[in-house]
Structures are given as structure tokens and as C-alpha cells.
Chain A
Amino acid sequence: MQASRARLFKEYKEVQREKAVDPDIQLVCDDSNIFKWTALIKGPTETPYEGGVFQLAFSVPEQYPLQPPQVRFLTKIFHPNVHFKTGEICLDILKNAWSPAWTLQSVCRAIIALMAHPEPDSPLNCDSGNLLRSGDIRGFQSMARMYTRLAASPKKG
């Protein structure tokens, strides 16, 4: 579909132009396929994900932007709404609340917001959700911080 291509191309230019505006998000298009994107997002501050850099993989459907892009974490993350093994994200705007007015950039922002505000009532990671639901904030944060250090932090030395 030409519409999705044109739209993605415009988003690509937008991303190039506004690189400095949102330093927490690096959105990169695949060299050979404009329907494949990867993003690097920084873990939001004052969360257990702070200091980590998480990689996201975007797979954009032909019907984009009328259909939402498929996004998943490539970096392991301990989060109630992210599947620990597959990286699948449970986020309404990626499902039924998607709007064609959204962009890949805004999806990245939404995911950052989700990291800061987990929703334990619809968990993909049951361990994480149970920790939060049982009120063990400290346990959850410890686990999440550990996985951030293990998987999302730049290797030292």
C-alpha cells in the first residue's frame, strides 16, 4: 500500500528532524525495509528501569496507520505488562485503542509511560503482576532493577 509507505516515509523524516527533541527515544528504520523499525528507549527516571536502554522491534503492517504496528521488547524486561520471554506488550493503544493519528514515535512514548506506570491487573508477566498486586512494591522493584542491570544496562569494563 502506498499510503502506509508514504506515511512511514514522512515519519522517518519527522524522526530525523526531531532527533534532539526526545532524547529518550531513538527510532531507526531498517536499511532495506521501511516496514521494520527498531527503537532504543531509555528507562524512565525514578523507576526500576532507570539507567537501562531497552530495544523495541516494530513490525508495521501494510494497512498502517489504520492498523497498529506490532511492537515487542527485544531486551528482557521485568514488567507486568510485558511477556518475559517473547517481549510482547499488553498495551491498549497497540490493540483496540489504536488510532491512526498515532505515530511510531508516540507509541514509543506510550511504552515509556507504561514502564513508569505498570498495570498489574492485566498481566502478561504473572510473577511481576502478582508482586505488585500483593503490595510487594519493594520486591517488584528489586526484581525489575536486577533485570535492568542484567539485560538493559551497558556492559561495564
Chain B
Amino acid sequence: MVSDSIKVSIPSAPKDFGKKKRANRSAKLKQCKLDVRREQWLSQVKNKGSKEKPNGLGVSPCENERKNDMENLETRRIGRGNEEEKENGSIYHEFDSDSPSHSPTGSSVLSCTDVGTNFTGSSSSSSSSSGGCCSGSITEEEEEADDDCLDDWEAIADALAANDDSKEGSQNNNSCPVSESSPKFEPSVRSDSISPELEPSVRSDSISNNLDSSLEDLKQECPKTAPPRVAHGNSRAWRPDDAFRPQSLPNLSKQRSFPNTQRHYGQGGLPWHCSNPVNVPSCCPICCEELDVTDSSFLPCTCGFRLCLFCYNRILHVEDGRCPGCRKNYEGNAEEAELSVSGGSLTFRLSRSYSMIARGYDFYG
């Protein structure tokens, strides 16, 4: 069973991977978290199982899709997970902290560009999560898919909404629009027809087994990522014509566009977004090279002046070793940063940047 669906999922993943180099790994990581979320929902649905089952055919294709996604995820993780985490350790952590604001935008952008449909973004967290899945690896199926699954989708959405009522009251408002405006979510619904060859009878057994096992795996791999975040009601994607849509969204492949979206979400009044007051510039103010992810998360001085590691190293060893922003010595600032880790509101950023400093010494010293 597992091998079957792996065969199903493999052709899509490498193709995607080759086709869009710029469809960054972050999207995959986000998708992984979204999938975890979906599995949790699904498990709730299954707990209510007997109630939901009467929908029969209506529910099962979606479950298939979920299972496929889940196994896509697994295979991908098996295939690339390790090296990804090695290479982009910092990225991964970055998204751990930032993903709630990124994930909806990421999914909407990807599905817009890759699929080419007029996917107008989603207005609820549940739909945005499925948008992420469809953009990740199921592009080819979408083209040949039909739109008949709308009713099924609504059924699922209702079921999810019912679960959300009990679990997260804050999501209640978001879940309702799904059923009303579901035609907008066609791209995500289309992916329901991924695995027509799977028998319904086989499904019902294997799904639960696979679900439970993989859910545990996923939970282990992505501990406590998704749930607290989705609890924020603001996690919706941008419509293409949305006036508030950040200009930098099309550049999603460049990591530097993330701070902008983050800043935008900060206006929504989510306190933990505002906890990052320092705006990350897109390029090093000294050498004008683009800041990569490592550079962007590198905060060498308490004054908040950012620069690339190359310039930092040069200032530290060739020049006078003072921060360009405040002219204080970098060495002293590093200690200050460490001190403020214990008590400041910038705790997270500073502690990370301090570790970056240490790493910088390793690299260049």
C-alpha cells in the first residue's frame, strides 16, 4: 500500500523539484507543517468517523489526497529531509519561528505561478493549508482534474469546521467562508483525483494505520509547530488584487522578501510578529551584495545594524572592528547581546545572532 502510493507520488516530486528550482525548499517545509495540521484534522474527523462516513464517496477522495500528501511528505523527507536540514539548518529554524505568516502567502504564490489558474487566494486557514499542498507536489494532476469534487470539499470543510468549533473557537469565523466561497478553491479541490486507482475498501484500513504512524513521525519531526500558529485568525493568503498584498511576494524565492510579509502581518496586531522590530534590509549596506538567509539572521550589534558576514569579518579583522551603525566595538556588543538574552524582549533574535557570531568566528577565524 505504501509502495503504491509512493510510486504515485514520486513522479510529481522530482519533476517539481527540477522544474522550479526557485520554488524554494521553504515551501516544502511549510507544506510539511501544513500537512501535519491537516493530519490532525483528519484524525479528528476519523474520531468522529461514524458521523462523517455517511458522506462516503464524498469524503474518501479527499482522504486519499491527504494520504497522498502525507506520503509525498514522507518520501520527500526520506529523500531529502536529511540533507535539507543539514544545508539549511538556519533556514529551518527561521521558518520555525516565522512560518505562520509565510505559509499562506507561499502557498498562494506557488499555486498562482505554477498552476497558472486564477487561484484567488484563500480566506481561511483550512483552505490555505490545502492550497499549500496542491502547490507543493500535485501540479500535474490538477490539470486533468475535474471540478466535480466541490460538494465533497464542502462536506470536508463542514466537518473540519465542526471540529474547529470544538477545538479552536477562534477559527470558527474563518472556517465558515470555506463553504460559501468554495469555488475559489478549485485548485486545491482538484487534487482530490490524484489516486483513482486506490480502492475505497483498501483505503479505510490503510489510512488509519498510515495516518497514525505517520502522524507520530511527523509530530516527532515537527514538534509543536502548526497548532499554536493556525490559532491566529490572520493566517489567510493574499488575493492577487489585494491592495495590501506585499510587493515582494513574487520574489518569494528570495528569502529576503519574508521580512516584508512579516512586517505586514505585524500590522494586523499579532504581538509576536511585532517582537521583531528590526527591519532586515535586502542587501548589505556596505557592499551592496544581497543578504542571504544567514546574513539576514545575523545581528552582530545591539544597535540593530545589519551587514553581511563578509563585511563584518572584514571590519572585525582588517578595519577597526566597530559597528558601522553605532561605532561601538563589536566585541563588547556581543557580550551585551548575550547579557540581554536573559531578560530582553529580543531574546530569541539575540540569542540566535549571538550563536551566529560564534559561528562566524569559526568560519573566518
Chain A residues packing against B (C-beta within 8 Å): 3, 6-7, 9-10, 65-66, 97, 99-101
Q: A7-B287, A66-B318 are in contact. List 8 more A-B contacts (CB 8 A).
A: A6-B289, A7-B286, A7-B288, A9-B288, A66-B315, A99-B327, A101-B286, A101-B325
Q: How far is the CA of A100 from the CA of B311 in the complex (A)?
A: 10
What are some 29 contacts across the A-B interface (CB < 8 A)? Answer: A3-B286, A3-B287, A3-B288, A3-B289, A6-B287, A6-B288, A6-B289, A7-B287, A10-B288, A65-B286, A66-B311, A66-B314, A66-B315, A66-B318, A66-B319, A97-B327, A99-B322, A99-B324, A99-B325, A99-B327, A100-B286, A100-B307, A100-B311, A100-B315, A100-B324, A101-B286, A101-B305, A101-B324, A101-B325
Closest Cβ–Cβ distance, residue B237 to chain A (whole Å)? 32
Q: How far is the CA of A97 from the CA of B322 in the complex (A)?
A: 10
Q: How far is the CA of A155 from the CA of B231 in the complex (A)?
A: 71
Closest Cβ–Cβ distance, residue B296 to chain A (whole Å)? 17
Q: How far is the CA of A6 from the CA of B314 in the complex (A)?
A: 17
Residues of A within 8 A of B325 (CB): 99, 101
Q: How far is the CA of A69 from the CA of B314 in the complex (A)?
A: 18
Interface size on B, residues (CB 8 A): 16
Looking at chain A's contact residues, is the secondary structure mostly helix, strand, loop, or mixed?
loop
Residues of B within 8 A of A97 (CB): 327
B285 CB within 8 Å of chain A: yes
Residues of A within 8 A of B287 (CB): 3, 6-7
Q: How far is the CA of A88 from the CA of B289 in the complex (A)?
A: 32
Residues of A within 8 A of B327 (CB): 97, 99
Closest Cβ–Cβ distance, residue B307 to chain A (whole Å)? 8
Task: Kindly identify, within residues 289 to 322 of chain B, every residue whose CB is under 8 Å from any CB belonging to chain A.
Answer: 289, 305, 307, 311, 314-315, 318-319, 322
Closest Cβ–Cβ distance, residue B330 to chain A (whole Å)? 13
Residues of A within 8 A of B314 (CB): 66
Residues of B within 8 A of A65 (CB): 286
**Nearest opposing residue in chain B for A7, CB measure:** B288
Contact of A101 with B288 at beta-carbon distance under 8 Å, contacts A66-B314, A66-B315 already known: no
Closest Cβ–Cβ distance, residue A44 to chain B (whole Å)? 25
- Partner of A66 from the list B286, B288, B289, B305 (CB cut-off 8 Å) is B286
**Nearest opposing residue in chain B for A64, CB measure:** B286
Closest Cβ–Cβ distance, residue B54 to chain A (whole Å)? 64
Residues of B within 8 A of A6 (CB): 287-289
**Nearest opposing residue in chain A for B327, CB measure:** A99
Q: How far is the CA of A9 from the CA of B318 in the complex (A)?
A: 24
Q: How far is the CA of A66 from the CA of B288 in the complex (A)?
A: 13
Residues of A within 8 A of B288 (CB): 3, 6-7, 9-10
Residues of A within 8 A of B315 (CB): 66, 100
The 10 closest A-B pairs by CB, nearest first: A101-B324, A3-B287, A100-B324, A6-B288, A99-B324, A10-B288, A100-B286, A7-B288, A66-B319, A101-B325
Asked if A101 and B285 make an inter-chain contact with CB atoms under 8 angstroms apart, the answer reads yes
Q: How far is the CA of A113 from the CA of B305 in the complex (A)?
A: 24
Closest Cβ–Cβ distance, residue A14 to chain B (whole Å)? 10
Residues of B within 8 A of A66 (CB): 286, 311, 314-315, 318-319
